Amino acid sequence: MQAAVDDANALNEGAPLKLEVFNTAVGPDGAVVVAQRIADDPAVLAVVVQGEEGVAKAPMAVFKQAHLAVIAASSWAQPRPAEAYATWLSPGLTELAGTAALFAKREGHRQQIAVVDDGSATSTAAVKAFAGRYRALGGKVAIEATWAGDESGLSDTVKALDVHWPQMVFYAGNAESAGRLVLAMKGEKALKNADLFGLPPLFDSAFFETTGLKGMRTRAVFPCPDYDGMGLLVRDLGFAFPRTSPQYRAYLHFAFRHPGRWTSMLYDGAALAARAVRIAQAPMPMSPSPEAATGTAAVAAVNPSVSSASAPTREAVRVALLNIGGYRGIRGDVKFNAAREPTDAKALVYFALNRVNRKEMLWKQRAYGPPF
């Protein structure tokens, strides 16, 4: 993330930008406290938020009242605010689920799948989106089940799955319960070869802590491509960072096989915030040329701020951000719709493999798309 701010400062246009990181306490109350602290700092002109708590209704209301430009760099929260006062870099949960269905049918060639939710509203919505897209592509959803995480419910769910012999099970829930579902499936003859497919929560370490090596071949869709080598980055995006550059060290080296860090979206979010501040400092054409902003990010909440001399107003930065129609960053060319969301639900599909010669697991990237 700091590399993105350094890139902006290297342009030598206006006052230099400063980056500050705020870490929230656990829970929604902590997010509100930090949001208020950010809003009360007059030097802060824009905020890049990582995580779900930071884009909840209460902290977002604080940012809105303070006229702060907000970029949500890692959230798939649903529903999102109706007003266009925030820019979202991640597709929503239902869009990601639809992309997962596309991968399962076109790349995975699965003809019959099962879907399982945990009973929550967000989980149910994701499962419905997956099942609807999968059926529209010509696939068969053999069974739709709900498992609330209890032991008796797990046994009943696995037995119901066992009857239908699905080739893949799409699960919308947390990492620990996904791990328990995998272990239970391995104990049934008809389910031993059925892969589990899930959403970003599966990247939590609790999944591997629960499954061990039995988590092999589990798949998860992730909206943030964290490449583990320069070759794939060049192939997908068309440009390369010099190995001696701060971008290479800050992005590729940090992100190596750690998809849960959201590195590329944070890099892109910081670059977008810096671009909005530069536009507000020295007005320029608002056309969304992809070359105008390369992006990179970091961790937690970000605040590009400027020295008091010639500092633009928060409102000017907010308006400048809303007029940026797209960017070219780590995730390639991204365009925003009227709701300030990506117009395409690009995602990277990872699968779990054991580390060579070691009794531990890791995520390995599979395919970036769509189209896959």
> Can you give the residue ranges of every domain in the chain?
2-91+230-335, 94-222+352-369
pLDDT recorded at residue 305: 45
Q: What is the pLDDT along the chain (372 residues), one digit of tens a residue?
A: 787 888 888 876 677 898 888 887 667 788 999 999 999 999 999 999 998 889 999 999 999 999 999 999 998 888 888 777 899 999 998 999 999 999 999 998 999 999 999 999 999 999 999 999 999 999 999 999 999 999 999 999 999 999 999 999 999 999 999 999 999 999 998 998 899 999 999 988 899 999 999 999 999 999 988 776 778 778 777 777 777 877 777 666 665 556 777 888 888 999 999 999 999 987 544 444 333 333 322 223 344 444 444 679 999 999 999 999 999 888 888 999 999 999 988 898 999 988 888 888 888 888 888 988
Q: Which pLDDT belongs to residue 299?
A: 28
DSSP string, 174-191: -HHHHHHHHHHHHTSGGG
Q: Which tokens go with 319?
A: 């308006």
In whole angstroms, how large is the CA radius of gyration of the chain?
21
In the chain, where do the E strands start and end? 17-18, 21-22, 46-49, 69-72, 86-88, 112-117, 140-146, 168-172, 195-198, 219-222, 301-302, 305-306, 326-329, 332-335, 347-354, 361-369
Task: Give the class (CATH, top level) of 94-222+352-369.
Answer: alpha beta
> What are 324's two structure tokens?
């940026």
- CA 9 vs. chain centroid, Å, equals 27
Contact present, 343 and 327 (Cβ < 8 Å): no
pLDDT on residue 318: 96
What is the topology classification, in CATH, of domain 2-91+230-335? Rossmann fold (3.40.50)
Tell me 304's DSSP state.
-
Place of tokens 């583990």: 228
Pick the closest to residue 192 from 204, 200, 177, 182 (CA basis): 182
pLDDT of residue 41: 95
Question: What was the pLDDT predicted at 279?
Answer: 92
pLDDT at 286: 45
- pLDDT the model gives residue 32: 92
Among 339, 303, 347, 306, residue whose Cα is nearest residue 49: 303
Backbone angles phi, psi at 69, to 5 degrees: -70, 130
Token pair, residue 146, equals 């709900």
Query: How far apart are alpha carbons 46 and 271 in whole angstroms?
Result: 11
Task: Say which residue the tokens 């009857």 belong to.
Answer: 163
